[in-house]
Amino acid sequence: MRVLLRSTIVAGVFALCVSHATIAEHEQIEHAASEAHLVIGGAGSNCLADSDCINRFHPDIPMKRIAQQGQTLIFKTRDALDVLGTVDQQRDAGQALDSERFMTLRSSFGTAHPMAGPVHIAGADVGDTLKVTILEINAGQYGYTFAGRSGFMSDLVDGGFVAVWKLTDRFATSADIPGIQIPNGSFPGIVATLPGKSDLEAILIREQKLHDAGGKVFLPSPEDASPVALCGKDGSAANACLRTIPPREQGGNMDIRHLGEGVTVYLPCQVAGCGLMIGDLHYAQGDGEVSGTAIEMSADVTVTTEVIKGYSDLRTGPHYEGDASVLQIPSKRFYAVTGLPLKTPGASYPNLHYLGSDVARDLSNLSNDISLAARNALDGMINYIVTTYGYSRNQAYVIASVAVDLRITQLVDAPNVGVTAILPLDIFIQVPH
């Protein structure tokens, strides 16, 4: 893919006028018109200091960059918590990163997730579909994965834990989880377009209703929001800028590990120019990202775009396509654990507390509950890793998050739908002592 990319990059040109562009922006566009590609992001020490970086969604966020369809776009992305710096900044840092040093890095949940963009795609109108093809992903030097206080089953894992990874073109290794190497499966967790005004209003209403009912929702928050003038504490839309935590109809934090090099993503254009953004790069992730994080990293992402006139049916979320080989697990051998929706009578679990069902609490078997089946498969896999390889439960939780795939086996055999957790065995290069 990288060889093909270098041989096929072609020159692109910018549209030379935007109705709201300043003189400086016009000069920037004219300068870039002679370049073979457009670079988005990478300036400043963090997202707030980078004019090509945002961490919220709103239709009024300005698009300071304009790209022609087919032009090569390079997104200089930052890690999910904006603590590692860009790929270039890591290369120039000259200091190794380990768990102790990582814990000194300051971060806030309000900074998640920095995204490079948004980019105005010339010729794209409301109602069109944006086709984004991922050509190349160049990883940074370091990554990290959290476990213990977040994720799909944090109530079953005690304490806090972070694994810091050293990344190469082929593998990730960590002194915090010795004896394993995780193959490079880089992909962007976030590929998104800006929401339209009516789309934003509908999202705000439905998420507020869910929050009021007791469901887990991350409502708008101006803390560490970017762009500051619109989404910050004194911003004109401080209470209406969407957090990036969940995926929505216009894409966002989809965390689909199959969106790697060579894959094409189809996104709706809900504003003129679409407003393409990319961020939250992952070096590797298991289907489920069960601890709440993958191997989080910064990376340079190269893509091209094409506008498909007319609206595709993307009401339930973006579509994607690519070579079937990307669906394979990165291992010659595997071990699998199955899960069914069974539980101890009287037990409840966090994601269903808000429903307040006394009936469900007292049952030992829930009908067609895919979440409980997945939870049981994951719990069994963590127990297997701990028992077989001698890792702690937190270490096993991280291994599951970056390498274990949760797959639905069947949805029709009521009451017990099935989920399988698949562990690639080739990641284990030595058994820890």
Question: Which pair of tokens denotes residue 206?
Answer: 């439905």
**Among 327, 343, 369, which residue terminates a domain?**
327
**pLDDT at residue 431, rounded to an integer:** 66
Work out the percent of the chain whose per-residue pLDDT is above 70: 91
CATH number where 382 lies: 3.10.28.20
Tell me the average pLDDT across 19-47: 65
**Given this model, what pLDDT does residue 329 score?**
85
**Strand ranges in 180-229 using DSSP code E only, listed in sequence order:** 182-183, 187-192
Q: Are residues 53 and 123 in the same domain?
A: yes
178 assigned to some structural domain: no
pLDDT in tens, 121-137: 999 999 999 999 999 99
Same domain, 319 and 341: no
Compute the average pLDDT of residues 218-241: 97
CA distance 201 to 204: 5
Q: Does the pLDDT value for residue 174 go beyond 70?
A: yes
Q: pLDDT at position 149, please?
A: 76
Specify whether 132 is located in the same domain as 44. yes
Of 11-25, 78-92, 345-359, 393-407, least confident by mean pLDDT is 11-25
Q: Report cis status (omega within 30 of 0) of the bond before 118.
A: yes
Q: Is 289 exposed, middle or buried (0-12, 13-18, 19+ CB in 10 A)?
A: buried
Provide the residue range defining the domain that includes 410. 334-427
Q: Are 335 and 269 in contact (CB under 8 A)?
A: no
pLDDT of residue 32: 45
Q: Above pLDDT 90, what percent of the chain?
A: 72
The two structure tokens encoding residue 282: 């992952």
The pLDDT value given to residue 156: 85
| Residue 316 near residue 398, CB atoms below 8 Å | no
CA atoms of 125 and 132, how far apart (whole Å): 16
- The C-alpha atoms of residue 234 and residue 236 are separated, in whole angstroms, by 7
Question: How many domains, the chain?
Answer: 2
Q: How far apart are CA 53 and CA 279, in angstroms?
A: 9
Q: Mean pLDDT throughout 63-85?
A: 97
What pLDDT score does 35 carry? 62
DSSP string, 70-92: T-EEEEEE--TTS-S--HHHHHH
Q: Are residues 192 and 101 in the same domain?
A: yes
Determine contact, residues 296/79, Cβ cutoff 8 Å. Answer: yes
Put residue 391 in one of left, alpha, beta given phi > 0 → left and psi -120 to 50 → alpha. beta
Across 346-374, average pLDDT: 82
Residue 21: what pLDDT? 38
Closest CA to 296 of 147, 136, 95: 147
Q: Which CATH number does the domain housing residue 131 bear?
A: 2.60.120.580
In this prediction, residues 79-91 reach a mean pLDDT of 96
- Lowest-pLDDT choice from 31-35, 272-276, 299-303, 373-377: 31-35
The pLDDT value given to residue 29: 45
Q: Residues for the chain: how many in total?
A: 433
What is the rounded average pLDDT for all residues in the chain?
89
DSSP annotation of 325: G
Please tell me whether residues 319 and 346 are part of one structural domain.
no
